[in-house]
Amino acid sequence: MSGGGDVGGLRQRGGGSGRLDSRGRGGPRPGPLEVARLLTCVVARELMDGEIVAFGLHAELLLAAALLAQKLHAPNLSIRHGLRVERGADLQPAAWTSERAGRSHERVEYLESHDAILDVASPASPMRFCDVFFVGGLQIDREGSTNLIGIKGKDGRMKVRGPGSIGTTSIGTLARHVILFSGEHTARRFVDRVDYVSVPGWRHRAAAGLAGGPSLCVTPLAVFEFADGWMRLRSVHPHAAEDDVRRRTGFALPAGPVPVTAPPTPAEKTALEVIDPFDRLAAVDLAPDGGEP
Protein backbone atom coordinates (compact mmCIF):
# COMPACT_ATOMS: atom_id res chain seq x y z
CA MET A 1 0.00 0.00 0.00
CA SER A 2 1.38 3.37 -0.96
CA GLY A 3 1.63 6.22 1.51
CA GLY A 4 3.21 9.61 2.00
CA GLY A 5 2.15 13.17 1.33
CA ASP A 6 -0.50 15.43 2.82
CA VAL A 7 -3.81 16.30 1.23
CA GLY A 8 -5.61 19.25 2.75
CA GLY A 9 -3.65 18.79 6.00
CA LEU A 10 -4.35 15.03 6.08
CA ARG A 11 -2.10 12.02 6.01
CA GLN A 12 -2.42 10.58 2.50
CA ARG A 13 -3.71 7.07 3.08
CA GLY A 14 -2.86 4.61 0.28
CA GLY A 15 -4.90 3.94 -2.83
CA GLY A 16 -3.22 4.06 -6.22
CA SER A 17 -4.95 5.36 -9.33
CA GLY A 18 -4.02 5.30 -12.99
CA ARG A 19 -3.49 8.79 -14.41
CA LEU A 20 -6.06 8.47 -17.17
CA ASP A 21 -8.60 10.93 -18.51
CA SER A 22 -12.11 10.12 -17.31
CA ARG A 23 -14.03 13.02 -18.79
CA GLY A 24 -15.60 10.96 -21.55
CA ARG A 25 -17.99 8.07 -21.29
CA GLY A 26 -17.14 5.43 -18.73
CA GLY A 27 -16.25 1.88 -19.70
CA PRO A 28 -18.74 -1.00 -20.03
CA ARG A 29 -21.13 -1.13 -17.11
CA PRO A 30 -20.07 -3.93 -14.75
CA GLY A 31 -22.51 -5.93 -12.67
CA PRO A 32 -23.18 -5.47 -8.94
CA LEU A 33 -20.55 -8.02 -7.91
CA GLU A 34 -17.79 -6.38 -9.94
CA VAL A 35 -18.59 -2.92 -8.56
CA ALA A 36 -18.84 -4.23 -5.00
CA ARG A 37 -15.47 -5.95 -5.31
CA LEU A 38 -13.87 -2.82 -6.76
CA LEU A 39 -15.15 -0.76 -3.81
CA THR A 40 -13.95 -3.45 -1.41
CA CYS A 41 -10.44 -3.07 -2.84
CA VAL A 42 -10.62 0.73 -2.73
CA VAL A 43 -11.52 0.63 0.97
CA ALA A 44 -9.02 -2.11 1.84
CA ARG A 45 -6.14 -0.06 0.42
CA GLU A 46 -6.88 2.66 2.98
CA LEU A 47 -6.51 0.40 6.02
CA MET A 48 -3.10 0.22 7.66
CA ASP A 49 -1.37 -2.42 9.73
CA GLY A 50 -1.91 -2.08 13.47
CA GLU A 51 -5.07 0.02 13.21
CA ILE A 52 -8.46 -0.70 14.76
CA VAL A 53 -11.36 -0.40 12.31
CA ALA A 54 -15.08 -0.19 13.08
CA PHE A 55 -18.27 0.13 11.06
CA GLY A 56 -21.99 -0.13 11.60
CA LEU A 57 -24.57 -2.87 11.19
CA HIS A 58 -25.02 -4.82 7.96
CA ALA A 59 -21.76 -3.46 6.52
CA GLU A 60 -20.79 -6.59 4.64
CA LEU A 61 -18.71 -4.77 2.03
CA LEU A 62 -16.69 -2.93 4.67
CA LEU A 63 -16.16 -6.16 6.59
CA ALA A 64 -14.88 -7.78 3.39
CA ALA A 65 -12.52 -4.83 2.89
CA ALA A 66 -11.09 -5.20 6.38
CA LEU A 67 -10.59 -8.93 5.89
CA LEU A 68 -8.93 -8.24 2.53
CA ALA A 69 -6.54 -5.76 4.16
CA GLN A 70 -5.69 -8.32 6.86
CA LYS A 71 -4.93 -10.94 4.24
CA LEU A 72 -2.79 -8.80 1.92
CA HIS A 73 -0.97 -5.99 3.75
CA ALA A 74 -2.29 -5.37 7.27
CA PRO A 75 -2.05 -8.62 9.26
CA ASN A 76 -2.25 -6.71 12.55
CA LEU A 77 -5.37 -4.75 11.59
CA SER A 78 -7.98 -5.25 14.32
CA ILE A 79 -11.64 -5.45 13.33
CA ARG A 80 -13.85 -4.34 16.18
CA HIS A 81 -15.51 -7.44 17.70
CA GLY A 82 -12.45 -9.60 16.98
CA LEU A 83 -13.00 -11.03 13.50
CA ARG A 84 -9.92 -12.51 11.82
CA VAL A 85 -9.55 -13.56 8.19
CA GLU A 86 -7.80 -16.78 9.28
CA ARG A 87 -10.98 -17.93 11.06
CA GLY A 88 -13.11 -17.27 8.02
CA ALA A 89 -16.17 -15.05 7.83
CA ASP A 90 -19.70 -15.28 6.53
CA LEU A 91 -20.41 -11.89 5.01
CA GLN A 92 -24.18 -12.21 5.33
CA PRO A 93 -25.65 -11.33 7.74
CA ALA A 94 -23.40 -8.98 9.67
CA ALA A 95 -21.65 -10.82 12.47
CA TRP A 96 -22.83 -8.64 15.33
CA THR A 97 -26.56 -8.63 14.67
CA SER A 98 -29.06 -10.94 16.34
CA GLU A 99 -29.71 -12.76 13.05
CA ARG A 100 -28.69 -16.41 12.94
CA ALA A 101 -29.08 -17.25 9.26
CA GLY A 102 -25.30 -17.19 8.83
CA ARG A 103 -22.42 -18.31 11.04
CA SER A 104 -20.38 -15.11 11.48
CA HIS A 105 -21.76 -14.73 15.00
CA GLU A 106 -19.86 -17.90 15.91
CA ARG A 107 -16.54 -16.36 14.83
CA VAL A 108 -16.57 -13.06 16.73
CA GLU A 109 -14.61 -12.88 19.97
CA TYR A 110 -16.91 -10.54 21.87
CA LEU A 111 -20.01 -8.37 21.69
CA GLU A 112 -20.53 -4.91 23.13
CA SER A 113 -23.57 -3.10 24.41
CA HIS A 114 -24.37 0.35 23.07
CA ASP A 115 -23.55 2.03 26.40
CA ALA A 116 -20.19 0.26 26.56
CA ILE A 117 -19.32 1.59 23.12
CA LEU A 118 -20.06 5.15 24.22
CA ASP A 119 -17.95 4.68 27.35
CA VAL A 120 -14.95 3.63 25.26
CA ALA A 121 -15.56 6.53 22.86
CA SER A 122 -15.32 9.03 25.70
CA PRO A 123 -12.25 11.31 25.57
CA ALA A 124 -11.67 10.48 29.26
CA SER A 125 -11.30 6.78 28.47
CA PRO A 126 -7.73 5.41 28.40
CA MET A 127 -8.85 3.20 25.50
CA ARG A 128 -9.84 4.19 21.99
CA PHE A 129 -12.80 2.64 20.23
CA CYS A 130 -11.16 2.69 16.81
CA ASP A 131 -8.60 4.40 14.60
CA VAL A 132 -10.71 4.21 11.45
CA PHE A 133 -14.49 4.58 11.43
CA PHE A 134 -16.75 4.17 8.40
CA VAL A 135 -20.06 6.01 8.30
CA GLY A 136 -22.68 6.93 5.73
CA GLY A 137 -25.82 9.01 5.73
CA LEU A 138 -29.11 9.99 4.15
CA GLN A 139 -27.17 13.10 3.13
CA ILE A 140 -23.46 13.94 2.86
CA ASP A 141 -22.31 17.48 2.19
CA ARG A 142 -19.26 19.10 0.66
CA GLU A 143 -17.46 19.54 4.01
CA GLY A 144 -18.04 15.89 4.93
CA SER A 145 -20.87 16.24 7.44
CA THR A 146 -23.31 13.32 7.40
CA ASN A 147 -27.01 13.18 8.23
CA LEU A 148 -28.68 10.05 9.58
CA ILE A 149 -31.46 11.96 11.32
CA GLY A 150 -33.93 12.95 8.60
CA ILE A 151 -34.74 15.03 5.52
CA LYS A 152 -36.55 18.35 5.71
CA GLY A 153 -39.50 19.21 3.49
CA LYS A 154 -40.11 22.54 1.77
CA ASP A 155 -41.74 23.85 4.95
CA GLY A 156 -38.52 23.29 6.90
CA ARG A 157 -40.02 20.49 8.98
CA MET A 158 -38.83 16.89 8.93
CA LYS A 159 -40.39 15.05 6.01
CA VAL A 160 -38.43 11.78 6.09
CA ARG A 161 -37.16 10.32 9.35
CA GLY A 162 -33.90 8.38 9.26
CA PRO A 163 -32.53 5.74 11.62
CA GLY A 164 -30.90 8.34 13.86
CA SER A 165 -27.28 9.04 14.70
CA ILE A 166 -27.07 6.39 17.46
CA GLY A 167 -23.37 6.25 18.47
CA THR A 168 -21.96 7.61 15.21
CA THR A 169 -21.64 11.16 16.53
CA SER A 170 -19.38 10.18 19.42
CA ILE A 171 -17.31 7.63 17.53
CA GLY A 172 -17.09 9.69 14.33
CA THR A 173 -15.93 12.72 16.27
CA LEU A 174 -13.23 10.90 18.23
CA ALA A 175 -11.88 8.38 15.69
CA ARG A 176 -8.49 9.25 14.23
CA HIS A 177 -9.71 8.77 10.65
CA VAL A 178 -13.28 8.92 9.36
CA ILE A 179 -14.04 7.52 5.91
CA LEU A 180 -17.47 8.18 4.42
CA PHE A 181 -19.18 5.48 2.37
CA SER A 182 -22.30 5.76 0.22
CA GLY A 183 -24.07 3.04 -1.71
CA GLU A 184 -25.49 5.58 -4.15
CA HIS A 185 -24.20 8.69 -5.89
CA THR A 186 -26.99 11.19 -6.55
CA ALA A 187 -27.66 14.86 -5.91
CA ARG A 188 -30.15 13.75 -3.23
CA ARG A 189 -27.34 12.10 -1.28
CA PHE A 190 -24.56 14.61 -1.99
CA VAL A 191 -25.91 18.01 -1.00
CA ASP A 192 -24.36 21.42 -0.40
CA ARG A 193 -25.42 21.36 3.26
CA VAL A 194 -27.01 18.54 5.25
CA ASP A 195 -30.38 19.20 6.89
CA TYR A 196 -29.14 17.79 10.22
CA VAL A 197 -25.63 16.89 11.40
CA SER A 198 -24.87 13.40 12.68
CA VAL A 199 -21.11 13.21 12.19
CA PRO A 200 -19.56 16.67 11.78
CA GLY A 201 -17.45 17.60 8.79
CA TRP A 202 -14.45 19.90 8.62
CA ARG A 203 -16.08 23.26 9.37
CA HIS A 204 -18.49 21.96 11.98
CA ARG A 205 -15.53 20.37 13.76
CA ALA A 206 -13.52 23.58 13.57
CA ALA A 207 -16.45 25.53 15.05
CA ALA A 208 -16.42 23.13 18.00
CA GLY A 209 -12.66 23.49 18.48
CA LEU A 210 -11.84 20.13 16.91
CA ALA A 211 -9.11 19.65 14.31
CA GLY A 212 -9.41 17.70 11.06
CA GLY A 213 -12.36 15.99 9.46
CA PRO A 214 -13.23 13.04 7.24
CA SER A 215 -10.40 11.88 4.99
CA LEU A 216 -12.23 10.22 2.11
CA CYS A 217 -15.66 9.44 0.70
CA VAL A 218 -16.16 6.30 -1.41
CA THR A 219 -19.16 5.91 -3.75
CA PRO A 220 -20.14 3.49 -6.54
CA LEU A 221 -18.78 5.99 -9.08
CA ALA A 222 -15.83 7.79 -7.51
CA VAL A 223 -13.56 8.53 -4.57
CA PHE A 224 -13.55 11.98 -2.98
CA GLU A 225 -10.81 13.47 -0.83
CA PHE A 226 -10.74 16.78 1.06
CA ALA A 227 -8.62 19.85 0.42
CA ASP A 228 -8.96 22.89 2.71
CA GLY A 229 -12.05 21.28 4.20
CA TRP A 230 -13.96 20.79 0.93
CA MET A 231 -14.56 17.71 -1.20
CA ARG A 232 -12.74 17.19 -4.46
CA LEU A 233 -12.45 14.22 -6.79
CA ARG A 234 -9.54 11.90 -6.11
CA SER A 235 -10.46 9.33 -8.75
CA VAL A 236 -13.34 8.17 -10.93
CA HIS A 237 -14.03 4.45 -11.23
CA PRO A 238 -13.31 2.75 -14.58
CA HIS A 239 -16.99 2.20 -15.38
CA ALA A 240 -17.98 5.82 -14.62
CA ALA A 241 -17.58 9.11 -16.48
CA GLU A 242 -16.32 12.25 -14.80
CA ASP A 243 -19.03 14.49 -16.28
CA ASP A 244 -21.70 12.12 -14.94
CA VAL A 245 -20.09 12.14 -11.49
CA ARG A 246 -20.09 15.93 -11.45
CA ARG A 247 -23.71 16.05 -12.63
CA ARG A 248 -24.75 13.65 -9.87
CA THR A 249 -23.05 15.68 -7.14
CA GLY A 250 -25.22 18.41 -5.63
CA PHE A 251 -22.39 20.94 -5.32
CA ALA A 252 -19.61 22.20 -7.53
CA LEU A 253 -16.34 20.29 -7.51
CA PRO A 254 -12.94 21.85 -8.31
CA ALA A 255 -11.85 21.53 -11.93
CA GLY A 256 -8.75 19.67 -12.96
CA PRO A 257 -7.58 16.30 -14.28
CA VAL A 258 -8.96 13.33 -12.40
CA PRO A 259 -7.30 9.89 -12.50
CA VAL A 260 -9.11 6.59 -12.88
CA THR A 261 -9.44 4.35 -9.83
CA ALA A 262 -7.05 1.42 -10.02
CA PRO A 263 -8.95 -1.83 -10.69
CA PRO A 264 -8.50 -4.90 -8.48
CA THR A 265 -5.04 -6.43 -8.79
CA PRO A 266 -4.54 -10.17 -9.41
CA ALA A 267 -3.64 -10.59 -5.72
CA GLU A 268 -6.80 -8.75 -4.63
CA LYS A 269 -8.96 -10.85 -6.95
CA THR A 270 -7.47 -14.09 -5.62
CA ALA A 271 -7.94 -13.01 -1.99
CA LEU A 272 -11.55 -11.98 -2.63
CA GLU A 273 -12.33 -15.44 -3.97
CA VAL A 274 -11.30 -16.78 -0.56
CA ILE A 275 -13.07 -14.09 1.48
CA ASP A 276 -16.28 -14.14 -0.58
CA PRO A 277 -16.51 -17.63 -2.14
CA PHE A 278 -20.31 -17.47 -2.45
CA ASP A 279 -20.45 -13.98 -4.05
CA ARG A 280 -22.32 -12.47 -1.11
CA LEU A 281 -21.06 -9.05 -2.15
CA ALA A 282 -23.36 -9.16 -5.18
CA ALA A 283 -26.31 -8.68 -2.83
CA VAL A 284 -25.09 -5.65 -0.86
CA ASP A 285 -27.21 -2.50 -0.92
CA LEU A 286 -25.36 -0.74 -3.73
CA ALA A 287 -26.36 1.10 -6.90
CA PRO A 288 -23.60 0.23 -9.43
CA ASP A 289 -24.68 3.06 -11.76
CA GLY A 290 -25.03 5.57 -8.88
CA GLY A 291 -28.78 5.21 -8.54
CA GLU A 292 -31.77 6.99 -10.04
CA PRO A 293 -30.78 10.69 -10.45
Question: Under CATH, what is the fold of the domain 6-283?
Answer: Glutaconate Coenzyme A-transferase (3.40.1080)
Query: Around Cβ 41, how many Cβ atoms within 10 Å?
Result: 25
**Which of 192, 180, 265 is closest to 222 using CA atoms?**
180
Residue type, 143: E
Give the DSSP H/E element, type plus range, for residue 53.
strand 52-54
78 within 8 A of 66, measured Cβ to Cβ: no
Strands (E), 149-269: 150-152, 158-161, 177-181, 190-191, 216-218, 222-227, 230-236, 260-261
Q: Domain extents for the chain?
A: 6-283
Report the alpha-carbon distance of residue 269 to residue 286 in Å, rounded.
20
- For residue 83, the cross-strand partners are 79
d(CA 289, CA 293): 10
Q: Helix axis angle, 32-44 relative to 60-72, nearest 10°?
A: 50
- The residues pairing with 78 across neighbouring beta strands, listed in sequence order, are 52
Q: What pLDDT score was predicted for residue 237?
A: 97
Q: What is the per-residue pLDDT for 169? A: 83
User: In this predicted structure, what is the pLDDT of residue 101?
Assistant: 65
> What pTM, to 2 d.p., does this model score?
0.82
What tens-digit pLDDT sequence spans the chain (293 residues)? 333 333 333 334 444 444 344 444 455 678 999 999 999 999 999 999 999 898 876 688 998 999 999 999 999 998 876 566 666 666 765 554 566 566 655 665 655 665 665 565 555 555 567 889 999 999 999 999 999 999 999 999 999 998 888 778 878 888 888 999 999 999 999 999 999 999 999 999 999 998 899 999 999 999 999 999 999 999 999 999 999 999 999 999 999 899 999 999 999 999 999 999 989 899 888 999 999 98
Burial 182-197 (b: 16+ CB within 10 A, else e): bbbbbeebbbeebbbb
Burial class of residue 12 in the structure, from the number of CB atoms within 10 Å of its CB (0-12 exposed, 13-18 middle, 19+ buried):
middle
Pairing of strands 260-261, 17-18: antiparallel
Q: CB of 225 within 8 A of CB of 215?
A: yes
